[in-house]
Amino acid sequence: MKLQRKNRLRALSLGAVAVSGALALTACGSDDTSSGSGGASASASSSSSIKCDGAKGQLLSDGSSAQKNAVDAWVKNFSQACGVQINYKAGGSGAGVTAFTQGQIPWAGSDSALKPEEVTASKKVCSGGQGIDLPMVGGPIAVGYNLSGVDNLVLNASTLAKIFNSKITYWDDAAIKKLNPSAKLPHLKIQAFHRSDDSGTTDNLTKYLIAAAKSDWPYSGGKTWQAKGGQSAAQSSGVAQQVKQTNGSIGYFELSYVGDGVTPVSIDTGASAPVAPSTDSATKAIAAAKVVGTGSDLSLSLDYATKAEGAYPITLVTYEIVCDKGNKADTLPTVKAFLNYMASEDGQGMLADLKYAPMPDEIIAKVRTTINGLS
């Protein structure tokens, strides 16, 4: 009897070990399959909470390179959960809007709201409706530089305008020295890089320069770079790469491209202290944004000349552009499901880890309501 009792206890013990081992393997497998890209990770629970709602097949999109790192992470999680193949080309805001208004893609990403003529063009592909702007991703446009021996750099709107307009051409210029009295600025020619492609990032940077240094930036602004001089590169990744490999260079791109040889400039806005680009400082600026779109359109107005404490003025909001009505039946369920995930608490919750700013609660609530009404 004693021997039988020992055998039963041993069997129970082995069974418990086997169960705990299986649970451990399950947990490891869950971690492996649910990790997001770009340094963010989604928990198993967030992945399982994604609502596919009839999403299927393939989905092609194009547009803002600013949101690429966020979209890549969203695509990874959504594709794993729903078995959908999504290809976001990130060819720039201009390319995305053009492809959308020509009916080549069902939605696009743009760092600028649709212009009146683009809305008009969209009506040809949105049967009975039109293209609308859904603010989804926020964040600072970092002005990044690469200058040996200078780890901290403060600039203001005027100096930035003059640098990008080829009026300040050396790093030891008096205007830069005045803002950085303790920095050892070399007599080195400034290599200023801008976007070669039509870009919402360019549009938002120049909106800041127009708002805060109009006398030093005599251009109308827009997605196309207008200033003379400087050097160009395609997309945010291209500009960041050029800055990374060129001593004495400066450029502009989203905060997620800063690092590994590229240092962000702090902006003297007139507040008590210069403001560095961060998700928190961008959120403070975006929180003051006003919805100016009409109907289903949720385009925002940002205060680029803000002097609020801790608010970073060079911010952008990336819009997902989609038809409010007249979407194609074969892609509508997938578009809605993916947009709903992007706007969800889990989707927005990933953004800070990717160096983006989530939309303020009041704004994202309106976005969710609008997505559910797409037809």
Beta-carbon contacts of residue 60 (< 8 Å; ≥ 6 apart): 86, 87, 89, 104, 105, 106
Residues 292 and 273 in one domain: no
In this structure, is residue 206 part of a structural domain?
A: yes
Residues 158 and 268 in one domain: yes
pLDDT in tens, 291-346: 999 999 999 999 999 999 999 999 999 999 999 999 999 999 999 999 999 999 99
State the average pLDDT over residues 42-65: 80
Bridge partners (DSSP) of residue 131 are 323
Q: Are 293 and 256 in contact (CB under 8 A)?
A: no
Round the average pLDDT of the chain to a whole number and report it.
88
Residues 328 and 267 in one domain: no
Residues 342 and 276 in one domain: no
Cα angle 314-259-66, degrees, rounded to a multiple of 5:
45
Q: Note the Cα 337 to chain centre separation in Å.
A: 20
Which DSSP string do the residues of 277-296 spell out, in sequence order? Answer: --HHHHHHHHTT-EE---TT
Residues 160 and 59 in one domain: no
Q: What is the pLDDT of residue 48?
A: 58
In this structure, is residue 337 part of a structural domain?
A: yes
Q: What is the pLDDT of residue 47?
A: 58
Beta-carbon contacts of residue 201 (< 8 Å; ≥ 6 apart): 64, 65, 66, 93, 111, 141, 195, 236, 252, 253, 254, 316
Residues 237 and 204 in one domain: yes
Q: What is the pLDDT of residue 363?
A: 94
Q: Are 176 and 226 in contact (CB under 8 A)?
A: no
In this structure, is residue 174 part of a structural domain?
A: yes
Q: What is the CATH number of the domain that holds 192?
A: 3.40.190.10
In this structure, is residue 11 part of a structural domain?
A: no
Residues 132 and 165 in one domain: no
Cα separation values, 136 from 6, 151, 165, 211, 252, Å: 63, 33, 31, 24, 21
In this structure, is residue 106 part of a structural domain?
A: yes
Residues 60 and 97 in one domain: yes
Q: What is the pTM of this model?
A: 0.77
State the average pLDDT over residues 43-50: 57
Using the predicted structure, report yes or no on whether residue 195 has a pLDDT greater than 50.
yes
Residues 218 and 248 in one domain: yes
Q: How far apart are CA 336 and CA 340, in angstroms?
A: 6
Q: Note the Cα 366 to chain centre separation in Å.
A: 19
Q: What is the pLDDT of residue 158?
A: 98
Q: How many structural domains does the chain have?
A: 2
Residues 159 and 239 in one domain: yes
In this structure, is residue 271 part of a structural domain?
A: yes
- Domain with 114, as residue range(s), is 49-138+288-299+320-372
Q: What is the pLDDT of residue 260?
A: 85
> Which tokens is 3 given?
């021997």
Residues 89 and 150 in one domain: no
